[in-house]
Amino acid sequence: MLPIQISDVEFQIVQKLLFKEVGISLSDTKKKMVQSRLEKRLRFHNISNYSDYLKIVQISQAEKTEFLNELSTNETYFFREEKHFEFLESLAQKSTNMRVWSAAASMGAEAYSIAMVLDSNIPNKKWEVVGTDINTATLNICKQGLYQFSWSSKIPVKYQKKYCLRGSKAHKDKMLIDMGQGASMIFEENNLLETNLTLGQFDVIFLRNVLLYFTDETKIQVINNVLKNLKTGGFLIISLTEHFDDKEIKNIKYLHNAIYQKV
Ligand SMILES: C[S@@+](CC[C@H](N)C(=O)[O-])C[C@H]1O[C@@H](n2cnc3c(N)ncnc32)[C@H](O)[C@@H]1O
């Protein structure tokens, strides 16, 4: 089957739409990637050009969701950037209850890593982890908590023993995360471009490996949005590889290792 070619003009429409909807700034080098990720949607609709497909995206909320699901980059793994989990552990050891938000949760590896640390340090399940993303397909994976067994290699052994159930026989390449009865894990759709006060207030917000997709201006907008959900004295954690101009944000101070405190 011959690939359906996307024209420069069609690609620019994709760039504009993605930026408008979720703030993702797609460089011109991503044309081939866009073509290969969206082609299955054209075939699904039996459409032979991107212009017609993009018209559907603009009028159908369901197709817009599929479009965003295809074009968001979801790489994640358990206990990514372990310094942040050491920091979380030290906080949890001093706390009797905590609420933590994994903003841009992708497939949930970050949210479950957070939950394992909280559950092992805070008595009586007095913790809650909320994971949000724009990608409804990855949110379904979050809700199931079902992963390839190979992903467990990144999880410290003490947590593997406590929270990871390996499938048997035909399912032995799979692993289910089981946080136990009474654990409070919530996963829901949320666009970081918008404020969302219904999520409530958090002690810690993980906002990692997502800022890199945004322009400098959008980063500031997103950080100001999430800070509305952070308690004064609470912590905002971004990726060790990400940056934003913190002079643009009034009420935070930099601590260390890409960790900020709301003041
Ligand atoms: C690379 S993953 C990061 C996952 C996890 N935070 C980690 O560090 O492993 C980036 C995630 O950001 C999500 N994302 C991109 N733009 C977003 C937006 N405007 N609002 C919410 N999530 C967004 C994508 O759908 C994707 O799942």
Give the CATH number for residue 28.
1.10.155.10
Pair (96, 60) in one structural domain:
no
Domain count, the chain: 2
Pair (87, 56) in one structural domain:
no
Q: Does some domain include residue 136?
A: yes
- pLDDT tens string, the chain, 263 residues long: the values are 778 899 999 999 999 999 999 999 999 999 999 999 999 999 999 999 999 999 999 999 999 999 999 999 999 999 999 999 999 999 999 999 999 999 999 999 999 999 999 999 999 999 999 999 999 999 999 999 999 999 999 999 999 999 999 999 989 999 999 999 999 999 999 999 999 999 999 999 999 999 999 999 999 999 999 999 999 999 999 999 999 999 999 999 999 999 999 99
Nearest atom in ligand 1 to 24's CA: 16
Residue 1's pLDDT is: 74
Pair (25, 114) in one structural domain:
no
Which residues constitute the domain of residue 13?
Answer: 8-71
Pair (30, 134) in one structural domain:
no
Contact 109, 77 (CB under 8 A): yes
The residue whose CA has the least distance to atom 12 of ligand 1 is 104
Contact 105, 191 (CB under 8 A): no
Residue 100's pLDDT is: 98
Q: Which residues contact 160 (CB under 8 A, 6 or more apart)?
A: 152
Q: Does some domain include residue 30?
A: yes
Nearest atom in ligand 1 to 190's CA: 21
Query: Helix H segments across 122-243?
Result: 136-144, 157-163, 216-227
The residue whose CA has the least distance to atom 2 of ligand 1 is 74
The CA 2 to ligand 1 mean position distance, Å, reads 32
Nearest atom in ligand 1 to 192's CA: 20
- Name every protein residue with a CB atom under 6 angstroms from any ligand 1 atom: 22-24, 72-76, 80, 104, 106, 110, 133-135, 138, 190-193, 208-210, 213
Contact 36, 71 (CB under 8 A): no
Pair (132, 235) in one structural domain:
yes
Q: Does some domain include residue 1?
A: no
- The Cα 154–Cα 147 span in angstroms is 12
Pair (99, 200) in one structural domain:
yes
Pair (126, 27) in one structural domain:
no
Nearest atom in ligand 1 to 138's CA: 27
This prediction has a pTM of: 0.96
Pair (97, 135) in one structural domain:
yes
Residue with tokens 């074009």: 71
Helix (H) or strand (E) holding 63: helix 61-71
Q: Does some domain include residue 120?
A: yes
Pair (92, 196) in one structural domain:
yes
β-strands 146-148, 174-177: how paired?
antiparallel
Residue 3's pLDDT is: 83
Q: Does some domain include residue 29?
A: yes
Residue 2's pLDDT is: 77
- The Cα 71–Cα 165 span in angstroms is 31
